[in-house]
Structure 1
């Protein structure tokens, strides 16, 4: 029995040695220098390694795309900011150009009136519309020789008159105020006298037009020059919608102001002028 066990052990040892010999032989004869076991392990690992490499490559490309989108977003934001800045600068340039044109217009008008009017240019620094008066404030006052009731104009026409004067500012009552009334004639005939008065809400009305007047829509109403307040010939507005009054003796008409009072930024104040001598107790 012992002999049988001994024989089995010898055969087992021999078989093990033979297997080891074969493994060593196959490993040493591999042209790539890899053993069978090692090649089997590597072949089994290869698909997994390819998968990992593919994932790594995909992540790298995704990261590149993400960085590209971020750069593009930053570029767009920079471009938008630049466009906004350019738009702002363009707006400022247009405003400056418009101001230069307005001031040039005032200067040209003032130069054209030398010898007839003594004019003082002023900027509008405030508006005060309310239930009683419609006024604006200018940045010139008594220090510049301004006094009450001086007419206020632009090259387009009549704006109003001064009703309050301080040292450095003055208040202008606009022609559309209900307290305003100006002696006027209708051009081109100059035979149709009347009174232009403010009716509020930015509107004017001419009253006391003679019933025989040949005035038509589109004619101009200008200052008559028969008062001591306004010089003659200053445009007030355009005649619209002439109507006969109930008494049948006079006509009235709406007057479209020559000056857009809501968009004024600068005005001219007439400090003195030459006026024709008017009959006593006539005109406003």
Structure 2
């Protein structure tokens, strides 16, 4: 009944793998059906049916007469009940366990997102706190008793990284003008305003090769001119050979010419040597200014 005709075999040989699988499954189904048919005709099957009916009648019968038999049936059936109950209970627990894993994953993902948000928020707060601390330190060391100062934020710097100039967010609308001195904390000279617009200003730094400042040493008044070294540093030039100058001397603005207020700190003498023509002395100045780390500067509007 389950056999295939020759024509069907020839036809099936032309089918794809899916056809072969269907044919194979049909054969297995036919074989299992035959086995079940033969099993239902055996004495063992009949005995099992009768035994199951008896067990059901005994366990369901309410009369005490069947109590001894019911006890035997319970003893026989109980291990199987325990087995099937434990399997079903284990399946339920496993289902709950797998469900809880999914919930834990979702909860863990949510907690990770919250953690990242908190870290970002703490980083921002820490950055703001550091900025406020730096600003307080700068303001506390500013020579406000001597100058009328205006705070300004740096909005851009020399893109070549040469330290030649920077731009601030204050301009003529804020009362600024070309030539005004720009300082940082402790009255350290940074440069002066070279170009200006209504809302911004461009500052030429001391390190710019076009920058010149009349200066002197603070301990003995030796005078010279501070010049920029192409964005790399600053020197004190045009110092007379007869004037005393030595390593460690502080250099400040002299106020000569009126371009810069007197007494603004420039730097410390680091090296001293003669000029190329041996007519003057020349000194390398170490400046405390780190332009790349600056965020705010102060413009000297007037002297008090």
Please tell me whether residue 123 in structure 1 is matched to residue 149 in structure 2: no
Larger RCO, structure (CA 8 Å, separation 6 or more): 1
How many pairs are equivalent?
242
More strand as a share of residues = 1
| Cα shift at 1:145 | 2.1
Please tell me whether residue 98 in structure 1 is matched to residue 130 in structure 2: yes
Which of 61, 66, 85 is the matching residue for 2:98? 66
Report what 1:188 is aligned to. Answer: 219
Q: Which SS does the other structure have where 2:89 is aligned?
A: helix
Which of 194, 200, 213 is the matching residue for 1:169? 200
**Distance verdict in 2 for CA 1:219–1:68, change over 3 Å:** farther
Higher mean Cα deviation, 141-150 or 46-55?
46-55
Q: Which SS does the other structure have where 1:200 is aligned?
A: coil
Mapping for residues 19-34 of structure 1, pairs under 5 Å: 31-34=67-70
Q: Which SS does the other structure have where 2:259 is aligned?
A: coil
Separation (CA, whole Å) in 2 of partners of 1:216 and 1:69:
75
Separation (CA, whole Å) in 2 of partners of 1:239 and 1:67:
74
Report what 2:257 is aligned to. Answer: 227
**Distance verdict in 2 for CA 1:137–1:88, change over 3 Å:** same
Please provide the CA RMSD for this pair.
Answer: 3.4
| Unaligned runs of at least 5 residues, structure 1 | 1-23, 275-284
Separation (CA, whole Å) in 2 of partners of 1:48 and 1:200:
95
Which of 239, 263, 270 is the matching residue for 1:209? 239
Mapping for residues 252-271 of structure 1, pairs under 5 Å: 252-271=282-301
TM-score between both structures, scaled by the size of structure 2: 0.65
Separation (CA, whole Å) in 2 of partners of 1:212 and 1:79:
74
Report what 1:7 is aligned to. Answer: none
Mapping for residues 12-91 of structure 1, pairs under 5 Å: 31-34=67-70, 39=73, 43=76, 50-91=82-123
TM-score between both structures, scaled by the size of structure 1: 0.69
Separation (CA, whole Å) in 1 of partners of 2:195 and 2:225:
24
Q: Which SS does the other structure have where 2:123 is aligned?
A: helix
Separation (CA, whole Å) in 1 of partners of 2:71 and 2:111:
63
Which of 177, 183, 197 is the matching residue for 1:153? 183
| Unaligned runs of at least 5 residues, structure 2 | 1-53
| Cα shift at 1:136 | 1.8
Separation (CA, whole Å) in 1 of partners of 2:123 and 2:232:
29
Does the 8 Å CA contact 1:129/1:135 hold for their aligned counterparts?
no
